[in-house]
Amino acid sequence: MGDRSRLCSVWLGSETGILKGVSLTRKQAFNFCDTRQLSRDQEVRVLSWGDPPAESELLLGLVDGTVRTFSTEKGAFTDARRCGDPQDGCFAGLAALSSSTLVSCTENGAVRVWAEDSREPVTKLEAGKTVCRMRQSPVSRNKVATGGKENGLKIWDLQRPEAALFSAKNLRDDWLALRRPHWVRDVAFIPDSDKVVTCTGYHQVHVFDPSTPQRRPVLEAEYGEYPLTALSLTASGSTVVVGNTQGQIALLDLRKGLVCGCLKGLSGGVRGLQCHPSQPVVASCGLDRFLRIHSLEDRRLLHKVYLKSRLNCLLLASLELEEGAGGQVEGQAEVKEEEEDEDEVWASLEQVEEETTKRKAAEKDEETQKKKKKKGKD
């Protein structure tokens, strides 16, 4: 199990309660679960890294309110603990604050901080009646953002849980002077700034800027006519990838809020989206039971993996690149050191193939050139 799990670069949680790992270099998918003990109570709702820089532990938030820890080194579940009652609703977000404390958020808006080995939460706060998503800021780990239906964006500092750092104001009435409803479906912190981007169930994308006194969105963009369910920022933070319930994914530029491209190939609603932190690729999963990886540069479909169950959430490993030129060699070197002979053969084969193809192509070019020259002489 251990050597399998170390290969995987994409992790997915499914509705049947199976944790799935996909290795793109070897084009293989693994199930990390006992298939005899499957049950719908163990449906994986959220996935996050237990120790973000190292990325050796996965936290799985299950529907019945337990959080399981999966070690990618050992390839097995190491720990399970209860975080909250089942009547609080299932998880809307989960994140690690440090190696042992974690913060969870349920759909009823209960944000809790759990320390190690204590059954009672250290910090409690209520983030409104319904919460669709809670996200942690990648820079300061005590900062979380929440939002839900009729519950605008709120940014909290977990050190000071009394009041929110920022709470969004209601949207301005529309041209008929009617109230516009709120429905935040997903949130993300824009790197290198205070700004936060949200997508809503009313197919809008909003950018909020807590550093200014304006509590209404500083940018509003619309995409399509179906609820946007997931969102992810690209590595540069200038474009955002959003997906909706019909399986349409679009890239929106955050400077003007214009659509700068759509990703094709999906057939069901999007549940999880994530861009790779360093490579220009985006992974998406959803109700159509496929993991798809698109290139952000030419928007082509790079990989498509059928994973047999509806997929709820998705997590990309930041270190292991899929097929980058420089990164792959490193990864393969590691593989060579650690794995059995077979893998070595595999890795070396792939390398050689690529090189030879390049060479062949080069040679062909040369040959054709020579031929042309000859013809010219004739």
Partner 1 sequence: MDFNEVPVTSERKSKKKKNKKAGNKRVSEAENGESAGVEKKSEEKIMENGESSAAFPPTFSVSEIKNKQRRHMMFMKLKQEKRKQKLQLRKKKKKERAALGDKAPPKEVPKTIENQRVFDETTVDPEDEEIAFDEGTDEFSAYFNRLTNPQVLITTSDRPRGKTVRFCEQLASVIPNAHVYYRRGLALKKIIPQCVARNFTYLMVVNEDRLVPNGLVLCHLPDGPTAHFKVSSVRLRKEIKRRGKDPTEHSPEVILNNFSTRLGHTIARLFAALFPQDPNFVGRQVATFHNQRDFIFFRFHRYIFKNEKKVGIQELGPRFTLKLRSLQKGTFDSKYGEYEWVLKRHEMDACRRKFQL
Q: Is the dihedral of CA 301, 305, 309, 314 positive or negative?
A: negative
Q: Could you say which of 31, 69, 130, 142 contacts partner 1 (CB under 8 A)?
A: 31
Q: Could you say which of 137, 167, 245, 274 contacts partner 1 (CB under 8 A)?
A: 245
Number of residues that bind partner 1 (CB under 8 A): 27
31 vs 123 by CB, closer to partner 1: 31
130 sits near partner 1 (criterion: CB under 8 A) = no
265 vs 327 by CB, closer to partner 1: 265
User: Which span (60-68, 136-144, 153-161, 265-273) binds partner 1, by CB under 8 A?
Assistant: 265-273
Please give the DSSP secondary-structure letter assigned to residue 42.
G
d(CA 333, CA 221): 45
User: Which span (21-29, 208-216, 304-312, 346-354) binds partner 1, by CB under 8 A?
Assistant: 304-312
Q: In angstroms, give the least distance from the CB of 52 to partner 1.
A: 30
Which amino acid is located at 141 in the chain? R
Please give the DSSP secondary-structure letter assigned to residue 235.
T
324 sits near partner 1 (criterion: CB under 8 A) = no
First-to-last C-alpha distance (Å) of the chain: 64
Provide the 3-class DSSP secondary structure of residue 38. coil
Strand order from edge to edge, sheet including 143-148: 133-136, 143-148, 151-157, 166-167
27 sits near partner 1 (criterion: CB under 8 A) = no
309 sits near partner 1 (criterion: CB under 8 A) = yes
264 sits near partner 1 (criterion: CB under 8 A) = yes
DSSP string, 253-318: ETTT--EEEEE----S-EEEEEE-SSSSEEEEEETTSEEEEEETTT--EEEEEE-SS-EEEEEE-S
216 vs 289 by CB, closer to partner 1: 289
Site for partner 1 in 196-235 (CB under 8 A): 201, 226-227, 229
d(CA 249, CA 7): 28
DSSP string, 156-220: EETTSTTS-SEEPPPPPP-TTS-----BEEEEEEPTTSS-EEEEETTSEEEEE-TTSS--S-SEE
User: Which span (3-11, 14-22, 165-173, 326-334) binds partner 1, by CB under 8 A?
Assistant: 14-22
246 sits near partner 1 (criterion: CB under 8 A) = yes
Q: How many CB atoms lie within 10 A of CB 237?
A: 17
35 vs 326 by CB, closer to partner 1: 35
299 sits near partner 1 (criterion: CB under 8 A) = no
268 sits near partner 1 (criterion: CB under 8 A) = yes
Separation in Å, CA 302 to CA 34, 68, 94: 30, 31, 29
d(CA 109, CA 127): 5
22 sits near partner 1 (criterion: CB under 8 A) = no
String of contacts with partner 1 for each residue 54-83, x by CB under 8 A: ------------------------------
Q: Which residues bind partner 1 (CB under 8 A)?
A: 15-16, 18, 31, 35, 38-40, 201, 226-227, 229, 245-247, 264-265, 267-269, 287-289, 306, 308-310
